[in-house]
Amino acid sequence: MKCLMMILNKKGFDFLKKTLSFLLSILMLIATSVPFSSYAANEQQTSGSCGDNATFELKDGVLTITGTGEITSHPWCNLFETTNINKVIINEGVTVIGENSFKNCTKIKEAILPESLTGIKKLAFYNCNCLETANLPMNLKYIGQNAFKDCKALKKIELPEKLERIYGGAFSGCSSAKGALFLRKKLYIELYAFSYCRGLEEIYFEDGFTIDNFTSSRPLTIFNYCEGVKRLYIPPSMTRIEGALFNNFTSLTDITISEGVEDIGGFNNCTSLEKITLPKSIKNINNYAFYGCKELKSVKIQSKIESLGREAFYNCTSLKSIKFPYGVDSVGKRAFGYYETVDQVTQTAEGGTKEIKSEHKIKNFKVYGKKCKALTDYCKENGFTFIDMYDVKNATVTMKSQTYNGSAKKPSVTVKLAGTTLKKDTDYTVKYSNNTKVGTAKVTITGKGTYKGTLEKTFKINPKPTEITKLTPGSKSFKAYWKKKTTQTTGYQIQYSTYKDLKNAKTVTISSNKTGARTIKSLKANKKYYVRIRTYKTVNKKKYYSKWSETLAVKTK
């Protein structure tokens, strides 16, 4: 048995040896038949043709393209490694930059493009992550899909006037591009065109631009995560702001929304936005329009709202009240007055995590508005206070106290309702009563024009003041003399203290208005005292005081 195995092993070894020799011979034949140029196929070319009528030259890191028409090939690109190109110059005559022309040329810092250029095709500068400047010439008509995607060093995006279309993802991930973006009325924009452009600071739409200029049915993706935008201008022509167009603009503080805009949405989680003024043309505030705008404190609405969407102002934790001066036809669930908290995060059976959330009402939330069923029902169902902003009984009235002089007192009044100062004789009328003698006078405010209801308020008429005429020192005492006031007064009060600001002052009441002097005893010797006086009158067991006199000083003996 052992002998047989040895024979078989020897034969097997010989067979294996012959097979390997044969395969090695075949490989040597193949190798000698391949020309040398094939080994250099992946080496970077430094000159040659790159289009039907275009040539290139690469020298000292600068790629220069000359000719006419389209760049249709890119022989300077190595399939397996990035190139050594750091600058691209395309001379006049070239009209189109073809697909993938400079894709993954990660060392390019500058691209100089000719005025003859009309098109940049898809992926042309994709992932040129060192590209800082690329002038977009005035005759450019389109920028292809992902043409400048992930050009993370690009400093600015200046779109030329004649540009007609920006394809999907064209500038996506250009996170260093700063400054303003101007979008002209004839420009059409596709999905993700400016997503992750985190450095952009301002966006302006030219009048004539509409929501239909966003060719996608999901315009919310156009500006995904443009977190640096601070200012936004919406023209009259953009009558609708749909979906989540400007969601997560977390630096946004200044919005101009022009007259003409009718439907508004798309601002949820704009967490730096503190105030917004909606134009008179607004009819609908869409679902989730300002959801999660946690710094929003003021919303100015100047029109009747036909529809206030579901959770339109949900989770706006700084918004303590809201005003609808012309009413609302319908109010969606949790439209305002609610916020949400994450109480804890738990581990799921699948190994992920799950947030456990709670919903809360904003404490003392108030709704001001024109009385209408939609608002009153919403407030009643949700336990919020509704204040009719056209009923003057809900107004705040301020006026100054008066001093008796024998004439009827008619102080000017300031009437504010829901933050608006009303105009006398236009929005309300005023009537005074019991306003001649010292005591409490009454003012009646009656709504007028668009305002209704009545409100009664009171103001004080205080007695005339008096003044100290003389202070004479005595032994551990002083005597005060004053001008007597006998009309509409009951008596006097004297205050004295060793402190100039009358801290810890003591008060002496003189209950006869016919008295004109009083000695204050049991004081400290050789001590300076500060003294003042006022009148008072008792009406229906309530005292009304004049203002204090000038403070005088006296030193005891």
Q: How confident is the model at residue 221 (pLDDT cuts 50, 70, 90)?
A: confident
Checking if the pLDDT of 152 tops 70, the result is yes
How sure is the predictor about 7, in pLDDT bands with cuts at 50, 70 and 90? very low
DSSP for 185-245 reads TT-EE-TTTTTT-TT--EEEE-BTB-GGGB-SS-GGGTTTT-TT--EEEE-TT--B--TTT
DSSP string of 523-556, one letter each residue: --TT-EEEEEEEEEEEETTEEEE------EEEE-
CA distance 178 to 158: 10
SS3 10: helix
pLDDT at residue 34 greater than cutoff 50 = no
The pairing of beta strand 54-59 with beta strand 62-67: antiparallel
- Which residues, at least 6 apart from 162, have a Cβ–Cβ distance to it below 8 Å? 138, 139, 140, 141
Residue with the two structure tokens 């936005």: 273
- pLDDT band, very low/low/confident/very high, at 82 (cuts 50, 70, 90): low
The CA radius of gyration of the chain, in Å to the nearest whole number, is 42
**Amino acid letter, residue 152:** K
Handedness of CA 207, 213, 219, 225 (dihedral sign): negative
Segment holding 269, helix H or strand E: none
DSSP string, 411-459: ---EEEETTEEPPBTTTEEEEEES-SSSEEEEEEEEE-TT-B-EEEEEE
Residues in the chain: 557
Distance CA(165)–CA(105), nearest Å, equals: 25
Read off the tokens for 535.
């009148």
**388, two tokens:** 């009719």
Is a pLDDT exceeding 90 seen at residue 72?
yes
What digits encode the pLDDT tens for the residues 335-357? 999 998 877 766 666 667 777 88
Average pLDDT on 236-264 reads 93
Q: 186 pLDDT band (50/70/90 cuts)?
A: very high
- pLDDT reading at 441 higher than 90: yes
Residue 184 CA to residue 196 CA, distance in Å, equals 21
**Distance between CA atoms of residues 397 and 400, nearest Å:** 10
How is residue 483 annotated by DSSP? -
Rounded CA-CA distance 231/236 in Å is 17
Q: Note the pLDDT of residue 244.
A: 81
- d(CA 265, CA 345) in angstroms, rounded, equals 30
Provide mean pLDDT across the span 203-210.
95
Taking only the tens place, the pLDDT of each residue in 487-529 is 999 999 999 999 999 999 999 999 999 999 999 999 999 999 9
> How sure is the predictor about 380, in pLDDT bands with cuts at 50, 70 and 90?
very high
The C-alpha atoms of residue 502 and residue 518 are separated, in whole angstroms, by 19
Is the pLDDT at 2 greater than 90? The verdict is no
* Letter string b/e over residues 344-376, b meaning 16 or more CB atoms within 10 A of that residue's CB: eeeeeeeeeeeeeeeeeebeebbbbbbebebbe
CA–CA dist 17, 104 (Å, integer): 47
pLDDT for 29 equals: 44
What is d(CA 193, CA 98) in angstroms, rounded to the nearest whole number?
Answer: 19
Find the distance separating the first CA and the last CA of the chain, reported in whole Å: 144
Structure tokens at 434: 């019991």
C-alpha neighbours within 13 Å on the C-beta side of residue 29:
6
477-482 sheet: strands from edge to edge:
468-474, 477-482, 517-520
Tell me the backbone φ, ψ of residue 519, rounded to 5 degrees. -95, 130
Q: What is the pLDDT of residue 45?
A: 75
Q: Classify residue 216 by burial, with Cβ atoms within 10 Å: 0-12, 13-18, 19+.
A: middle
| Average model confidence (pLDDT) across the chain | 90
pLDDT at residue number 497: 98
User: Residue 218: CA atoms inside 13 Å, Cβ hemisphere, count?
Assistant: 6
Predicted TM-score (pTM) of this structure: 0.73
Question: Residue 105 CB: number of other CB atoms within 10 A?
Answer: 26
The string over 183-212, giving b where at least 16 C-beta atoms fall within 10 Å of a residue's C-beta and e elsewhere, is bbeebebbbbbbbbbbbbebbbbbeebebe
Quote the tokens at residue 523: 């004081």
- pLDDT value at position 78? 63
Kindly report the backbone phi and psi dihedral angles of residue 283, in degrees, each rounded to the nearest multiple of 5, phi listed first: -115, -35
